[in-house]
């Protein structure tokens, strides 16, 4: 088992290893377990056996759960179950379910304890660590939420064995991104045949990818500075999700978005890192995109959370592990979009 410490004002640990679901312990007596409807039943049963929850709440699968309507229903069920101020919410499932569960924990009674049990690669590497919680609006991704760090994160690698191969590859986008922005050793390791459920380097690579995010959020929980670098590739990715009404999954969108960010980085004078992002896309094999125009995508990019009063800002790379945040002139965005579309189309 690997253990990664996350520091800052609210310290917690991320544990990575096999069999963790059967060994869970929390100090709270009243626990609400939230999980998506498509989660394998054995994972829910294992968590229930460990935690003896007061109530188990089932929510829609994937991003269908990240709505204000679903959030309202979850909050009502917490109240109906009389979860007290010293109770806890445990999110079990993929990144969407844990995002929702965390926001419910942040909102209910103005904040109760939160624990995360991610069961997907995407959830383990990204959503479960860092305290970002929230839901989507029709106008864009993650526009409503709160910073509410968990008390602990448990990444049971046994759960990854049930993932379809495409879903595992989807989640690898966030691990590869951590290689691009901070730890280039991850690039070859993610593309290695041993980076797979049950693979020899799975646990170590996963722990090192999580450690990148843990270090960033320890230094910058509320995204006042370097935490924005974790959004490399996400400005276009979130736009692709929104403009297709989430027909494009998050991991696939990040794969596509990283390649666009690499093209932009090159156009803005940085080292040409498109061979790395193209190698990942070839490995990931994301679902094909529908026909898109720059005009259709641009309004969604403009609503990105990194935008300020002067407009949208992009995370780009001077070189491997040298990210920066900048504004990009619209003609450059448009030309990069043309080049990107030629490549991925």
Q: Indicate which CATH number applies to the domain containing 11.
A: 3.40.50.1970
Q: What are phi and psi of 147, to 5 degrees?
A: -85, 115
Residue 245 and residue 338 in one domain: yes
Task: State pTM to two decimals.
Answer: 0.89
145 contact partners, CB below 8 Å, separation of at least 6: 99, 103, 132, 133, 134, 135
What is the pLDDT averaged over residues 275-298?
96
> Which band of pLDDT confidence, cut at 50, 70 and 90, is reported for residue 306?
low
Known binding-site residue numbers:
95-99, 119-120, 132, 141, 159-162, 174, 234, 250
Determine what percent of the chain is predicted with pLDDT higher than 70. Answer: 98
pLDDT digits (tens, 9 = 90+) for 111-147: 999 999 999 999 999 888 888 899 998 887 788 999 9
Instruction: List the domain range (segments joined by +) for residue 248.
Output: 232-344
pLDDT digits (tens, 9 = 90+) for 252-280: 999 999 999 999 999 999 999 999 999 99
Residue 259 and residue 147 in one domain: no
Give the pLDDT score at 175: 96
> Which band of pLDDT confidence, cut at 50, 70 and 90, is reported for residue 308?
low
In whole angstroms, what is the distance from residue 86 CA to residue 61 CA? Answer: 28
Residue 105 has pLDDT above 90, yes or no: yes
Between vectors from CA 163 to CA 217 and to CA 119, what angle results, nearest 5°? 35
- The answer to whether position 193 is within a domain reads no
The answer to whether the beta carbons of residues 166 and 159 sit under 8 Å apart is: no
What is the pLDDT averaged over residues 213-232?
88
- Bigger pLDDT: 86 or 222? 86
In whole angstroms, what is the distance from residue 154 CA to residue 116 CA? Answer: 6
What is the pLDDT averaged over residues 91-97?
93
Residue 309 has pLDDT above 70, yes or no: no
Residue 45 and residue 141 in one domain: yes
- The answer to whether position 177 is within a domain reads no
Give the pLDDT score at 325: 93
Residue 118 and residue 15 in one domain: yes
Give the pLDDT score at 307: 64
Give the pLDDT score at 129: 87
Residue 311 has pLDDT above 80, yes or no: no
What is the pLDDT averaged over residues 62-71?
94
Residue 17 and residue 129 in one domain: yes
Known binding-site residue numbers for NAD(+):
95-99, 119-120, 132, 141, 159-162
pLDDT digits (tens, 9 = 90+) for 40-57: 999 999 999 999 999 999
Give the pLDDT score at 142: 85
What is the pLDDT averaged over residues 326-338?
94
Domain boundary among 165, 186, 218: 165
What is the pLDDT averaged over residues 57-72?
94
Flag the least confident range among 171-180, 298-307, 333-342. Answer: 298-307
Residue 25 and residue 117 in one domain: yes
The tally of CA atoms less than 13 A away on the side-chain side of residue 17 is 12
The residues facing 59 across adjacent strands are: 36
Domain boundary among 165, 198, 223: 165
> Which band of pLDDT confidence, cut at 50, 70 and 90, is reported for residue 289?
very high
Give the pLDDT score at 139: 81
What is the overall mean pLDDT for the chain? 93
- The answer to whether position 225 is within a domain reads no
Give the pLDDT score at 8: 80
In whole angstroms, what is the distance from residue 121 CA to residue 111 CA? Answer: 27
What is the pLDDT averaged over residues 5-17?
90
What is the pLDDT averaged over residues 178-192?
97
Q: Indicate which CATH number applies to the domain containing 296.
A: 1.20.1090.10
Residue 210 has pLDDT above 80, yes or no: yes
Known binding-site residue numbers for Zn(2+):
174, 234, 250
Domain boundary among 165, 184, 205: 165
Residue 10 and residue 104 in one domain: yes
Residue 155 and residue 276 in one domain: no
Chain centroid offset of residue 331 CA: 30
**Domain tally, the chain:** 2
- The answer to whether position 200 is within a domain reads no
Give the pLDDT score at 231: 93
């Amino acid at each position: 088992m690997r253990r990664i410490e996350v520091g800052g004002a609210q310290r917690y640990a991320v544990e990575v290893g096999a069999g963790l679901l059967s060994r869970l312990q929390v100090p709270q007596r009243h626990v609400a377990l939230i999980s998506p409807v498509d989660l394998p039943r054995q994972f829910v049963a294992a968590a229930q056996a460990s935690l003896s929850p007061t109530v188990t709440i089932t929510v829609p699968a994937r991003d269908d759960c990240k709505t204000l309507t679903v959030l309202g229903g979850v909050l009502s069920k917490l109240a109906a179950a009389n979860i007290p101020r010293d109770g806890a919410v445990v999110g079990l499932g993929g990144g969407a379910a844990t995002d929702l569960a965390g926001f419910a924990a942040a909102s209910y009674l103005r904040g109760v304890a939160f624990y995360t049990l991610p069961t997907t690669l995407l959830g383990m590497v990204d959503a479960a660590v860092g305290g970002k919680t929230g839901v989507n609006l029709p106008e864009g991704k993650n526009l409503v939420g709160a910073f509410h760090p968990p008390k602990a994160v448990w990444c049971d690698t046994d759960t990854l064995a049930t993932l379809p191969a495409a879903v595992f590859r989807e989640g690898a986008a966030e691990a590869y991104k951590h290689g691009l922005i901070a730890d280039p050793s991850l690039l070859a390791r993610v593309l290695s045949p041993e980076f797979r459920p049950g693979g020899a380097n799975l646990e170590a690579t996963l722990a090192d990818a999580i450690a990148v995010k843990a270090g960033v959020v320890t230094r910058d929980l509320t995204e006042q500075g370097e935490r924005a670098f974790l959004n490399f590739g996400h400005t276009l990715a979130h736009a692709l999700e929104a403009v297709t009404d989430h027909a494009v999954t998050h991991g696939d969108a990040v794969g596509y978005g990283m390649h666009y960010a690499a093209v932009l980085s090159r156009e803005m004078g940085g080292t040409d890192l498109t061979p790395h992002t193209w190698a990942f896309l070839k490995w990931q094999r994301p679902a094909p995109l529908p026909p898109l125009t720059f005009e259709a995508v641009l309004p969604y990019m403009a609503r990105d959370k990194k935008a300020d009063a002067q407009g949208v800002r992009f995370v780009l790379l001077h070189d491997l592990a040298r990210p920066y945040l900048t504004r990009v002139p619209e003609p450059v965005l448009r030309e990069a979009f043309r080049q990107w579309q030629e490549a991925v189309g």
